[in-house]
Amino acid sequence: MDAAGVRGVRFNLISMGGPSRNALESIARRVAPLGWHVQVYVEGKQLGELAPILEKLPAPVVVDHMGSIMTAWGPNNPSLRALRKLIDSGRGWVKLCGYRCSSAGHPYADVTPLARALIGAAAERCVWGSDWPHPNINGAMPDDGELLDLLSVWAPSEAIRHKILVENPAALYGFPA
């Protein structure tokens, strides 16, 4: 799989059917020598409980969907503190996604403060994702063009957007220069 370009494993700790969090450490030990990362999709409220485990993993950790931290929780919630601690450690990454954290819904403007806080904390460890094909969506399907446009609001600097869209994914996934 490494020769085919795989660079990480994903743990979906929200939906049923995948490996449980009990397998995080053993799988991380297996993929770390390959230079792979562990990506976790978790409920935001799980972050505080999972943070000590994630911080000790021998592989970098990518937290999907901005940690599923709902904007209605405000800027001083424990889940955001746990995510920031992981990012601040230099071992954590965050995948910016424009709608799953929204408490208000379309056009997802309420996500801007959260996204800006994460980018401001560590733009060098942020990557962007649309979440296409948007599994498990109830209601209107997000417009991927609109989701990408949000990145310009979150990161007005072209240099920072280049980092998030080009340089950071190249580093995380090992794309050739």
φ/ψ of 24, rounded to 5, equals: -55, -55
Rounded average pLDDT over 138-165: 95
Amino acid letter, residue 41: Y
118-131 pLDDT per residue, tens = 999 999 999 999 99
Residue 45 lies in a domain: yes
pTM for the structure as a whole: 0.95
Side-chain-side CA neighbours of 13 within 13 Å: the count stands at 24
Range(s) of the domain holding residue 127: 8-173
pLDDT digits (tens, 9 = 90+) for 65-86: 999 999 999 999 999 999 999 9
- Residue 118 domain-assigned (yes or no): yes
- Domain membership flag for residue 121: yes
Domain-embedded: residue 140? yes
* Terminal Cα distance for the chain, rounded: 21
Closest CA to 166 of 128, 131, 121, 114: 128
Tell me which H or E stretch contains 12.
strand 8-12
- Residue 81: partners with Cβ closer than 8 Å, 6 or more residues away: 48
Active site residue 110: no
Instruction: Find how far residue 23's CA is from the centre of its chain.
Output: 20
Say which residues have a Cβ less than 8 Å from residue 176's Cβ, sequence separation at least 6.
none
Q: Does some domain include residue 2?
A: no
- Residue 69 in domain: yes
Task: Tell me whether residue 3 is in a domain.
Answer: no
Please report, for the domain that includes residue 19, its CATH number. Answer: 3.20.20.140
Active-site entry in 88, 110, 131, 149: 131
As for how many domains the chain has, the answer is 1
User: Chain centroid to CA 56: how far?
Assistant: 18
